[in-house]
Chain A
Amino acid sequence: MIPLFGVQNLNKSFGGLAVTNNVSLSLAAGDRLALIGPNGAGKTTFVNLVTGNLLPNSGTVRLAGQDVTRRNAMERVRLGLVRSFQVTRLFYGMTPEEHLALAVLQREGKSGRMVGRYQAMPEVMDEVRDILDLLGLLELSHLKVREIAYGQQRLLEIALALALRPKVLLLDEPAAGVPQSETARIEQALDKLPPDLAVLMIEHDMDLVFRFAKRVIVLAAGTVIFDGSPQDVTKDARVREAYLGSYANVGSAA
């Protein structure tokens, strides 16, 4: 069976520094994969390569049976490959409702319309409200994003990705910067992701990783050093070494 999403022998170096070393992985519909590794391991770079925000030195990226290595970032999004950002990237002067409306309009090919307003398009508004409701953001729908708490901005990042109805979703540390007391809400949001969506999540919080992922890949200095079940990852000697010590450090890195 051809996997939904596959990366073969991806390589990238910045100057002399190899940040991605022959990384290969594939995802099928419904997969829940966690990509972990110490700071600077090359996790975000991997996402950037896969989404087309960076060009790899070599290797291929395939999506739904097509080679997309030479496709630009927006074409990949249109083919169903969507990401979130480690540091929130939102439109700070716009409201959550506008964010989601824009995403829905864009997905439907209506974002170029020069007359009419999304508020008057019931099919758009219904979907926007459903997603806001799903993530518990309905009450904030008319506030400017810069006025809402960071944890809620993180939720909006996830909402925005969902509104694009991806086939493959890459989440770069969805709980980064969120106070411990609020990570539960992020986790609830992750639980609500469509079951057939293939998800790759980068995360430092090992508790979250254990609850979410059925498979874990560990990246260290750009190289995959572990690919297996969450149960085995903490026992692996190379993983322990990569994190300079014990799993206790892995946990506290969050």
Chain B
Amino acid sequence: MAASTTQTLAAGAPARRNITGSLIGIAAIIVIGIIGYYLFPNNLALLTRIIATALLVLSIDLVTGYCGVATLGHAALFGAGAYAAGIASAHYGISDPLLMTLVGALAGAVAGLVSGLIILRAHGLPQLVLSIAVIHLFHEAANKASSWTGGSDGLSGIAPTALLGLFEFDLWGRTAYIYGLALLLIVFVLLQLLVRSPFGMLARGVREDPLRISAMGASVQSVLLRMYVISGVVAGIGGALSAMSTQVVGLDSLSFTLSAESLVMLVLGGTGSLYGALVGTVSFMWFEDVVSAANPFHWLTMVGALLIAVVLFAPRGLYGTAAALVQRLKGGRA
């Protein structure tokens, strides 16, 4: 009896808790961003790369974590954004950072639509294989179209103009970093709205039981395809950021390796939560950076060991496991 009363009383709380949760998340990103800025002033390029990758990992989370589509080809969406923004600047003189970001987002959306149309034809293992085929096709296409993309030499000549006409992309990468942080914040806030919206709930339903979703009259394919396009926008923005900050785009941005690594980052942090994607990216890339500096020969072994440890002992990922622990502690107290 007492238990059921508490449940009923708690009924109004989730909404408020959600909003507080979002505010805490936003504050955390800002604070960590500022700390990073002052702690690693000579390493802002790395931090910006982490942000760009975080956008890719968030984008994978949308289709994998929220919709249950496993993919090893998601860098196609990121690379499309990077190349499109780079080509816009290098070949067409579209060098305004905001416009380049927009071009990247659009190209990501188109790449999302194309790979979604291909990948979503299959399920399970064949789907995973299709996703690998997609990234290889994108990679090969970029390699062959070398007059546009620079092929294996990479695309250079990218020269973003001053942000808002005020802030030049400086040698230390300050502008790129702060712009990246702002993009990440905006994307994060919008995605939080998205995953809590009716559409976000529909997507979670698709992940849990597609047959049940169609028994409710909703189209699973249409949900997945829409999510793929949104995911493309997010990854495309990440790609554009990467193009602007490094001012080159290489074939590695369109590679199977990047696809697989970013999926690993997601699993490391925890799928199905936006925080998981961020935590996974930051911990993986930070760990990679530290370990590869300390031991250039065995760092991959260490990364492998970390992954095995997480999968075995914290199968929900770093963030997922921590969140579950906090939940349990709270539950114990109440």
- Interface residues of A, Cβ cutoff 8 Å to B: 51, 53, 72-74, 77-78, 82-83, 85, 89-94, 98, 101-103, 105-107, 110-120, 139-143, 160, 164
Distance to closest chain A CB from B230 (angstroms): 8
With both beta carbons as reference points, the residue of chain A lying nearest to B4 in the complex is identified as A139
Distance to closest chain A CB from B146 (angstroms): 39
Chain A residues with CB under 8 A of B214? 72-74, 77
| B7 pairs with A139, CB closer than 8 A | yes
| B198 pairs with A105, CB closer than 8 A | yes
| B215 pairs with A83, CB closer than 8 A | yes
| A106 pairs with B11, CB closer than 8 A | no
Tell me the bound Cα distance from A243 to B11 in angstroms: 49
Chain A residues with CB under 8 A of B217? 74, 77-78, 106-107, 164
Tell me the bound Cα distance from A68 to B219 in angstroms: 17
Chain A residues with CB under 8 A of B193? 114-115
| A93 pairs with B197, CB closer than 8 A | no
Bits for B1-24, please: 1 = Cβ < 8 Å to A, else 0: 000100110110011000000000
| A114 pairs with B197, CB closer than 8 A | yes
| A116 pairs with B198, CB closer than 8 A | yes
Distance to closest chain B CB from A168 (angstroms): 13
| Selected contact of A102 from candidates B10, B11, B201, CB within 8 Å | B201
| A91 pairs with B205, CB closer than 8 A | yes
Contacts A111-B202, A113-B199 given; indicate if A74 touches B212 (C-beta within 8 A).
Answer: no
| A102 pairs with B202, CB closer than 8 A | yes
Tell me the bound Cα distance from A241 to B137 in angstroms: 62
Tell me the bound Cα distance from A82 to B212 in angstroms: 11
Tell me the bound Cα distance from A112 to B202 in angstroms: 8
Distance to closest chain A CB from B210 (angstroms): 10
With both beta carbons as reference points, the residue of chain B lying nearest to A84 in the complex is identified as B215
Residue contacts A-B, CB under 8 angstroms, 7 given:
A90-B212, A103-B216, A112-B199, A117-B15, A117-B198, A118-B198, A160-B216
Contacts A77-B217, A106-B216, A107-B217 given; indicate if A119 touches B15 (C-beta within 8 A).
Answer: yes
Distance to closest chain B CB from A228 (angstroms): 30
| A91 pairs with B197, CB closer than 8 A | no
Contacts A103-B216, A106-B216 given; indicate if A91 touches B204 (C-beta within 8 A).
Answer: yes
Number of residue pairs spanning A and B whose beta carbons lie under 8 angstroms apart = 99
| Selected contact of B218 from candidates A74, A98, A117, CB within 8 Å | A74
| A143 pairs with B205, CB closer than 8 A | no
| B8 pairs with A89, CB closer than 8 A | no
| Selected contact of B208 from candidates A74, A93, A106, A143, CB within 8 Å | A93
Tell me the bound Cα distance from A102 to B223 in angstroms: 13
| A51 pairs with B215, CB closer than 8 A | yes
Q: Which 8 A-B pairs have the closest CB atoms?
A: A77-B217, A91-B208, A89-B212, A113-B198, A114-B199, A78-B217, A105-B198, A74-B214
| B208 pairs with A92, CB closer than 8 A | yes
Chain A residues with CB under 8 A of B136? none
| B216 pairs with A77, CB closer than 8 A | yes
| B197 pairs with A89, CB closer than 8 A | no
Q: B196 contacts the other chain (Cβ, under 8 Å)?
A: yes
| A74 pairs with B219, CB closer than 8 A | yes
Chain A residues with CB under 8 A of B196? 117
Tell me the bound Cα distance from A250 to B197 in angstroms: 48
Chain A residues with CB under 8 A of B215? 51, 73, 77, 82-83, 85, 89
Q: B289 contacts the other chain (Cβ, under 8 Å)?
A: no
Distance to closest chain B CB from A244 (angstroms): 33
| Selected contact of B197 from candidates A73, A116, A160, CB within 8 Å | A116
Since A91-B212, A94-B205, A113-B197 are in contact, a sample of 7 more A-B pairs with Cβ atoms closer than 8 Å, ordered by chain A residue number, is A74-B214, A89-B211, A94-B201, A107-B217, A111-B198, A117-B196, A164-B216
| B11 pairs with A91, CB closer than 8 A | no
| A139 pairs with B8, CB closer than 8 A | yes
Tell me the bound Cα distance from A4 to B126 in angstroms: 41
Q: B209 contacts the other chain (Cβ, under 8 Å)?
A: yes
| A112 pairs with B208, CB closer than 8 A | no
| B11 pairs with A94, CB closer than 8 A | no
With both beta carbons as reference points, the residue of chain A lying nearest to B205 in the complex is identified as A91
Chain A residues with CB under 8 A of B202? 102, 105-106, 111-112
List CB contacts (< 8 Å) of B1-56 with chain A. Answer: 4, 7-8, 10-11, 14-15
Chain A residues with CB under 8 A of B8? 139
| A141 pairs with B11, CB closer than 8 A | yes
List CB contacts (< 8 Å) of B168-185 with chain A. Answer: none
Tell me the bound Cα distance from A143 to B15 in angstroms: 15
Distance to closest chain B CB from A227 (angstroms): 27
Chain A residues with CB under 8 A of B10? 142
| Selected contact of B7 from candidates A74, A110, A142, CB within 8 Å | A142
Chain B residues with CB under 8 A of A89? 209, 211-212, 215
Q: B194 contacts the other chain (Cβ, under 8 Å)?
A: yes
